[in-house]
A and B are shown apart, each in its own frame.
Chain A
């Protein structure tokens, strides 16, 4: 990194949708603008001098269809009048839009065109039934292939990956790991009051999971509903700052985390994944980010990974090299990714537990890592060893097409 970059003042709205007690699909709910305002304000309130913000980047995937709204950069000034007549733009890379918002901010600060950038991610998806939302989310794939794809496009894509995994490494072995992934997600979400599954009180989560056999007649062949992240409305925000920027904001370094490396790679959207058992882009992007940061995976204290589906969690474990190919399910089943495991992952629930407001997810992941590394995670706080002061986030857009990986470090001071 040619300049020291910090993240500070992370904030999330509630991830709203089925599972939250206050969610009522029949009643009018807050709109896109409310989420942007709420998350933005929650960030600004944490710093003594919010007028130091030079620029805003908003990550969003499909507001143009979910909310009939494009041109989201124009909403920055609704957060605070001070943000008007400053640079503001939106970025899109499917479900990696949030991650792209953060690295856009990082680049701007590195390029010295800004000292402080407000990065937001937002998505409001409960405006349509899931069956139509599936059409919109499918725009993250190549539309020319849509005709032959599944009604539930992404579950269909990852069901194929799960099917290949079952075939090669055994159904029971895989489901055991996936069921444990689900359990971890819900248990972690219960500890975060903004999580969509915060109110989930089900006992024996793995028992519940295994009771529902995948049924291709109603859904997809190889996944059940518990394998999937839900439809969510939500926004997250965080500030990206240089050393100078932190000073301008009036924030001490101890309240921030340092970005020590990142990478963003994209695979050809018009081709099928080279190997259904390998999240190739995630593997390459994570390796590059760690290389850029100059650390090894053993130095990580926690990871946020993009578990839009439980199988994506298992495959990410393998792509990161935490387990050998085919051994990811057993690694997870053994509790190694649990909050008290060898490598705590998705400590506020991840996409399955916390929620998946698509364009917000990459920012939410950064907020979670920032919370954990600064001791701000509340009930969800995990114990981190000073020997492992790093965190990693993996944000994926489409079926392993666009990936953003960011490496974070506790502040030295």
Chain B
């Protein structure tokens, strides 16, 4: 394999090899690559890593050491955008930690005002980053973050190519949200040097990271991952190495349940109305940040379909597949976000971020919500007393009492809407418990932490509100 090595001499390689075992946290982060760095997840991972590396470079003991972060992506255009994104985000981050930065730059007499120091920190962070379309630069890294498309074969191909050409025995952190890590490990022959480090979208904002290790993952690799997550102020939830892990393990099943509920309901009423009703029940009655169809659109119907497809072969007692999703995608209804962050149309059509119409597969057109809202509202009935939307409920101090009262109220009602909400809540609870029973999650608390921090739910899915 060494014949392909583009850099360095053998003696240097041996030196590096000898250093592998004694490499500490800071050293591990001296040469890092992010694959798929211009993508939605990759750019966030790159930002957080660049800032962490810049902070390390400012420590007195690291003066004079080089820190290199390769931003590798196939898209030149994406890499241009990445630098703009980094500059804006690093500015915001620097402004928030100016007190610390003034101490770090205390020795530099030329940097006097906050604006001088912030400007220098942006430069110091950006100069660590090397944007490139050439993957070969990763052959020198000690740590590689992988955030390419959710395609197992592609991931295996890239990771094994890098590993075969990299003399450092690098560690690989994959951001996959659904592919079992041991499969990547075995097929790419990484032998204990890979783990799942699954950020939530967008990585710069979302606090949750799912950490997935295999049976072979080195203890020091996994310890480093925990330390790194901690430095990034992330909440780490360890998940077992099972397709979909905890987050998608819950979300995919919950989404499929919602899609099927809408289909059931559409037997007796127009499809668009059924989607509207299920979306409203999941958002308002279940007090979630958004309804299930809006969440599918947010993630992207194509991504949801893809993750279900990745997970399904590993599931023996259920079929995680929606023919309706297939049909929607055939008609080009995908959702996802524009590069500006604005929501693309999917099951729902959006204006200024708010749903205004629902897609009807029969007529292949969006039907305005206003045109059928009265009928849907008649089915739903008046909103039960004591309703607080998610944005209010999330701030309630005693959530246990608040949700206990709200869901007890729903259970006592006889309306079809309240019944559907309770059934939905019970199903969500069952999904959570199954994740523990199947050994995906180590405990119910981890399931709840993932949904609370990764999906911003106001209460965990495993609870006693609906029973």
Listed in ascending order, the chain A residues whose CB lies under 8 Å from chain B are 129, 131-132, 134-135, 138, 143, 146-147, 150-152, 216-219
Contacts and interface: CB of A to CB of B under 8 A. Distances in A.
Pick the most buried of B100, B101, B112: most chain A CB atoms within 10 A of its CB. B112
A359 B115 CA distance: 23
Provide the main secondary structure of the chain B interface. Answer: helix
A396 B98 CA distance: 27
Given A134-B114, A150-B99, A150-B102, 6 more contacts: A131-B118, A146-B113, A147-B109, A151-B99, A217-B99, A219-B99
B360 interface: no
Pick the most buried of A131, A138, A150: most chain B CB atoms within 10 A of its CB. A131
Contacts of A135: 113-115
A219 B98 CA distance: 9
Interface string B153-185: 000000000000000000000000000000000
Contacts of B113: 135, 138, 146
A219 to B, nearest CB: 7
Contacts of A217: 99-100
A192 B56 CA distance: 50
Given A150-B102, A219-B99, A132 B114 contact: yes
B98 A146 contact: no
B402 to A, nearest CB: 20
A151 B112 contact: no
A219 B100 CA distance: 10
Contacts of B95: 129, 131
Nearest to B94: A131
Nearest to A220: B99
Interface in B99-150: 99-102, 109, 111-115, 118
A129 B95 CA distance: 9
A131 B114 contact: yes
Contacts of A218: 99
Nearest to B102: A151
A150 B113 CA distance: 10
Give the 6 A-B residue pairs with the shortest CB-CB distance, closest first: A135-B113, A151-B98, A147-B112, A151-B102, A151-B99, A135-B114
A217 B111 CA distance: 20
A131 B112 contact: no
Contacts of B111: 147
A236 B221 CA distance: 63
A152 B101 CA distance: 12
A189 B156 CA distance: 65
23 contacts: A129-B95, A131-B95, A131-B98, A131-B114, A131-B118, A132-B114, A132-B115, A134-B114, A135-B113, A138-B113, A146-B112, A146-B113, A147-B109, A147-B111, A150-B99, A150-B102, A151-B98, A151-B101, A151-B102, A152-B99, A216-B99, A217-B99, A218-B99
Pick the most buried of B99, B101, B109, B115: most chain A CB atoms within 10 A of its CB. B99
Nearest to A139: B113
Contacts of B118: 131
Nearest to A143: B112
Contacts of A143: 112
Nearest to B95: A131
